[in-house]
Structure 1
Amino acid sequence: MWVTVSIILSAACAIGVILGCCTFSVPGYTGPASDHFDGKRFYNQDNADRQGFFTFLKWIITRDAPEWHKMPALKNHPQMPQRVGPGKLHLTFINHSTFLIQMDGLNILTDPLWSDRTSPVSFTGPQRVQQPGVLLEELPPIDAVVLSHNHYDHLDVPTLKIIAARHKPRIFVGLGNRALLNKAGIENVREMDWWDQAPLSDTVGLSFVPAKHFSNRGICDHNKTLWGGFVFESAAGAVYFAGDTGFGKHFAQIATRFKNLRLALLP
């Protein structure tokens, strides 16, 4: 009986918490329809959709989640150059989906995450068990930040506010994500659609590429902003940062368009 009551209470609490997350939903993109936007929501190339809310709720309640144990903090952090020269490439993995890509004189940060929790609130939600491999204050000057999508473990507003204040980088996001950053006081944000290109310098180019995923900050903004990956091109070769993605035809499309891929950073 107590097991049944516990499950019912857990379900009720989960529903209340998740429904309350409408507070954290974002307005989303407004613009003309396309082959991956119906005028209200974005969708994947193969039109794959995520499971419904109650399927997700059932998984939360019944899953056998392993326990994650706290890991000791690193004693020795990796040493990285302040910058690399023309035609050079240096990569540092920091944590989760955060990489420092140093290529052809530029320093690029992907999905920067230094917060203790990935949650709309600071007192609950997924909590890190391993400290980042590089301290935030140890970063070299950051020229550009790319954000693959708006989930809390990839778009970490507290971290972004610190980086924006210290480094004043250009920030590149998918369609509909600029408003969230501007609301937090973060400027110099450029939105991109799939296959859009932007120069990072005279020698480094950036492309926003498709991914198979979804977006939301709450439950009322499902797929209202665009997700994707990035390809960086320079004399050092091309680097593909996938963000979060399932397997799909976009991998072949990316390989066809970018013949000089040297490195792929996959989830």
Structure 2
Amino acid sequence: MRKDINPYYSGPVSDHFDGVRFFNPGGFPPRGLTDLFRWQLGGRRVRWPGRYDSPFAPAKPDIVDGDHLRVTMVGHATLLMQVAGLNVLTDPVWSHRASPFAFAGPRRRNAPGILMDDLPPIDIVLVTHNHYDHLDLETLGALHAGHEPHIVTPLGNDTIIRRAVPGARISVLDWGDRLDLENGIVVHAEPCHHWSARRTSDRRMALWAAFVLETPAGKIYHIGDTGFHGGANYRAAQEKHGAFRLANLPFGCYEPRWFMEGQHQNPEEAVLGMLACGAGHVAGHHWGTFRLTNEGIEEPLKALEAALEKAGIAGDRFRALRPGEVFDVPPAPAA
């Protein structure tokens, strides 16, 4: 692939697209191969157990409507959100590995928290970016065959999905775009500090994004992956959209900091993000399923507990969800 040609997206230059690659305004790009090898060969990885089973049995969701808001953890960044009679999946991955290969790469340490056959009818799928632990073509193909959901994703990711799932119904958003859906749902694409790649030659050629959902039951802020970036994107989301009933925030996969800081926030930063965006409650994700970084499997839990205590936030407001766990989100407090 020529480095000056983008195979996924062609569009005008913007404040986050240079004509070939996307970038984080005021931020920095991912580290290069030299730093990658330095990290991979540097040791200090805490061993994970071969299995890390959830204490929760696989859930069997029913319909949720009215002003109820329910989140069920499938695993990693895959959440089932049920609101206003609709069923919304985020970054769905049911595959055994988060990898381009069936025989190598990070493997699941626990079973999905919902069996594929037990899913309710899926109306909307949000895909935040194209890393393999977030965009799983095998899962998207299975969901299309069984549910034909409406897939919403940032610029360029539609090209990747259509090649594997040619009949998929896809809406593509740039940062700042909005999409009006059924049942009073509006989806906004907003900035987060991350990057994208499916291989070494296509870095930053598809956009990454967070999503804000306006619903009759309140606003939801969903982030699949992000570096903290000084909290800038959290503050911008709060200024634009107001407070959130729920934020789905990553808080794992963060060590070593010198390598991960720009792409994965740590638990303390996730708590600061919760405060900055005005979230009433948080569904914590991106931990305990795929071993991607150096920290031990339960280190994010201990660090999160310490960060919440330091901030004076009750632990039940930031739930570190495990596969199969169901979170009925309390109503947002009155203004």
TM-score bracket for this pair, using the shorter chain length: 0.7 to 0.9
Question: Please, which of 60, 65, 70 is the counterpart of residue 90 of structure 1?
Answer: 70
Contact 1:87–1:234, Cα closer than 8 Å, also in 2: no
Q: Is 1:171 matched up with 2:151? A: yes
Q: Which residue among 124, 141, 158 is the counterpart of 1:144?
A: 124
Alpha-carbon distance in 2 for matches of 1:93, 1:128: 14
Once the two structures are superposed, the pairs formed by residues 1-267 of structure 1 within 5 Å of their partners are: 27-69=7-49, 70-72=51-53, 76-81=57-62, 83-186=63-166, 187-248=168-229, 249-267=232-250
Render the CA deviation track for 1:116-165: whole Å, top value 9, x for unaligned. 01111111111111111111111100000000100000001111110111
For the residues of structure 1 that align with 2:183 and 2:133, how far apart are their CA atoms? 32
Larger radius of gyration: 1
C-alpha contact 2:73 2:113 (8 A) present in aligned 1: yes
Distance in 1, matches of 2:143 and 2:103, equals: 23
Aligned sequence identity (%):
38
Q: State how far apart, in whole Å, the 1-side matches of 2:60 and 2:103 are.
A: 33
Partners of 2:239 and 2:111 lie apart in 1 by 37
Q: 3-state SS of the aligned residue for 1:239?
A: strand
Q: Deviations over 1:3-43 (max 9, x none)?
A: xxxxxxxxxxxxxxxxxx99xxx822111000000001000
The one-letter code matched in structure 2 to 1:251 is: Y
Unaligned runs of 5+ in 1: 1-20
The Cα offsets for residues 145-199 of structure 1, whole Å up to 9 and x where unpaired, read as: 0001000000011111101110000001110111111110241111110011101
Return the letter of the residue paired with 1:262: R
Separation in 1, partners of 2:73, 2:57: 14
State the distance in 2 between where 1:173 and 1:95 align.
20
84-93 vs 170-179, which moves further: 84-93
Q: Secondary structure at the match of 1:30?
A: coil
* 8 Å contact kept, 1:117–1:126: yes
Q: RMSD of the alignment, in Å?
A: 1.8
Greater shift, 63-72 or 29-38, is seen at 63-72
Instruction: State whether residues 81 and 87 of structure 2, in contact with CA within 8 Å, keep that contact through their aligned partners in structure 1.
Output: yes
Instruction: List runs of 5+ in structure 2 lacking aligned partners.
Output: 251-335
Q: How far off its partner does 1:91 sit? A: 1.1
Is contact 2:213–2:219 with CA below 8 Å preserved after alignment?
yes
Give, in angstroms, the shift of residue 75 of structure 1.
6.7
Aligned length: 243
TM score, norm. by length of structure 1? 0.87
Tell me which moved more, 56-65 or 237-246: 56-65
For residue 73 of structure 1, report the CA deviation from its aligned partner: 6.5
Aligned residue for 2:302? Answer: none
The answer to whether the Cα contact below 8 Å between 1:237 and 1:260 also exists between their aligned partners in 2 is no
Residue type of the alignment partner of 2:29: D
SS in 2 for 1:266: strand
Task: Report what 1:12 is aligned to.
Answer: none
The structure 1 segments of at least 4 consecutive aligned residues displaced by more than 3 Å after TM superposition are 72-75
